[in-house]
Structure 1
Amino acid sequence: MNDVPAVPISVVIADDDPDIRALISIAVRNAGLSLVAAACDGDEAWLSLLEHRPRLAVLDVAMPGMTGLEVCALVRADESLSGMRIVLLSAAADDQARLAGVATGADAYFTKPFSPRDLAARLSDFMSADGVGS
């Protein structure tokens, strides 16, 4: 029997709205994931991703500095980050916005507004379905 505890999946989040960041943080923790950094703009998000190299990034699409789409494209262009899963969050729920997210290499696109409970369930389901268990 293996008594080694499972290591929680590390997560970096980024959103320019402090209230939304707090809600995402709650959702991440409720999903059983480990929040390692919370960035307030795209530039800080990129630096946090390089520093922490998390298994999951939850990025707002519209942020100061680089957008979530731009950060996603940088991650996908960096082979050393190839295993990172990316979830984009946006208030834009139309098909064109979703397609833009997919085109940059996002693994999932969730819309705002959201409840922390619903986002936690979606993140948990997403990571489980992706074969990335904790």
Structure 2
Amino acid sequence: MTVGELSRRTGVPIKTLRQYTDSGLIYTIGRSAANYRLFGADALWCVHLIGQLRSLGLTVAEIRELTGTADPIGPRLAWLLQRSRQRLSARIDELHQTLRRIDEFEDAHRTELAGRGGVCWPGDPRCVAHA
């Protein structure tokens, strides 16, 4: 199948499939007479697996690390999943901090946000400072 057909069958954009091929995550079985990349049925499985790993938070570089070793994949994948979990936990913490800042801002500016006064930003010439 061509990269276009692989894209249609997997829902993955052609550009992404080319990147996967260029980085060695998917292998072609050659080229057509018109010089199109050709893929076998195993490419469907590879794209599905890459999608699963990406949905678990692994980066393309981490997935490439998995394919670049002769060692058993299980322990390495477990470590990468733990690293993904740590990244996600840190991101969740950052988002919770952002929510707290929103709460604090809303509390401090409740009147202005309700439309009963203008929000004044320091240095804004359009704004008359509150007394």
Structure number with bigger Rg: 2
Q: Under TM normalisation by the shorter chain, which class is it?
A: under 0.3
Q: Which has the higher strand share?
A: 1
Q: Which has the higher contact order (CA 8 A, sep 6+)?
A: 1
Q: Which has the higher helix share?
A: 2
